[in-house]
């Protein structure tokens, strides 16, 4: 695992989260292909009580409503956009690894990197089960 760039990256990221309680940097990209006034009007019909603003692709990649609570504070209320609203949000970690198992990493979204990481760990578990059972 030490010799693999992706695995080292996740080890350092894990340490950062455990020691500092945060991820230093995320980049969010939202591409909206179709979203017009009629789409917004349709969403507003289903807005939760106290909704005072709508967001797409927040810092965590989510979509939803800013809702004013009775105490005056605000909270995010996340939703899944209807399938006919064409918007794609991707979340990226800072300085992602460029290789894994000797191959170039093309897709550096959190989802893709996480998938490589979990597949690697799954393979380790499969090897361990075969060896120790």
pTM for the structure as a whole? 0.67
Does residue 99 surpass a pLDDT of 80? Answer: yes
Distances (CA, A) of 117 to 17, 27, 38, 66, 105: 16, 20, 41, 33, 12
Average predicted confidence (pLDDT) for the chain: 92
For 41-55, how does the pLDDT look when each residue is reduced to its tens digit (9 = 90+)?
999 999 999 999 999
Reported as a single tens digit per residue, the pLDDT across 14-36 is 988 898 887 767 888 899 998 99
CA atoms within 13 A on the CB side of 115: 7
CA-based Rg of the chain, rounded to a whole angstrom? 20
Q: Which residues contact 53 (CB under 8 A, 6 or more apart)?
A: 65, 66
Rounded Cα–Cα distance for residues 74 and 50 (Å): 9
User: Is the per-residue pLDDT at 1 higher than 90?
Assistant: no
Task: Please report, rounded to a whole number, the percentage of residues in the chain having pLDDT higher than 70.
Answer: 99
Region 60-73 average pLDDT: 94
Question: Which residue, among 123, 12, 36, has the nearest Cα to 86 in the 3D structure?
Answer: 36
- Max Cα-Cα span within the chain: 61
Residue 43 has what pLDDT?
A: 95
Indicate if the pLDDT at residue 103 is higher than 90: yes
- pLDDT tens-digit series, residues 77-87: 999 999 899 89
């Amino acid at each position: 695992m030490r010799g693999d760039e992706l695995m080292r990256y996740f080890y350092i990221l894990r340490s950062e989260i455990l020691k500092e309680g945060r991820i230093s940097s995320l980049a969010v990209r939202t591409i909206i292909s179709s979203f017009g006034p009629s789409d917004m009007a349709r969403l507003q019909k289903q807005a939760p009580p106290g909704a005072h603003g709508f967001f797409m692709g927040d810092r965590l990649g989510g979509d939803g409503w800013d809702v004013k609570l009775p105490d005056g504070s605000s909270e995010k209320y996340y939703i899944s956009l209807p399938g006919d609203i064409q918007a794609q949000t991707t979340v990226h970690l800072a300085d992602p690894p460029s290789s894994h198992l000797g191959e170039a990493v093309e897709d550096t979204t959190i989802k893709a990197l996480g998938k490589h990481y979990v597949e690697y760990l799954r393979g380790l578990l499969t090897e361990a089960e075969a060896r120790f059972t």
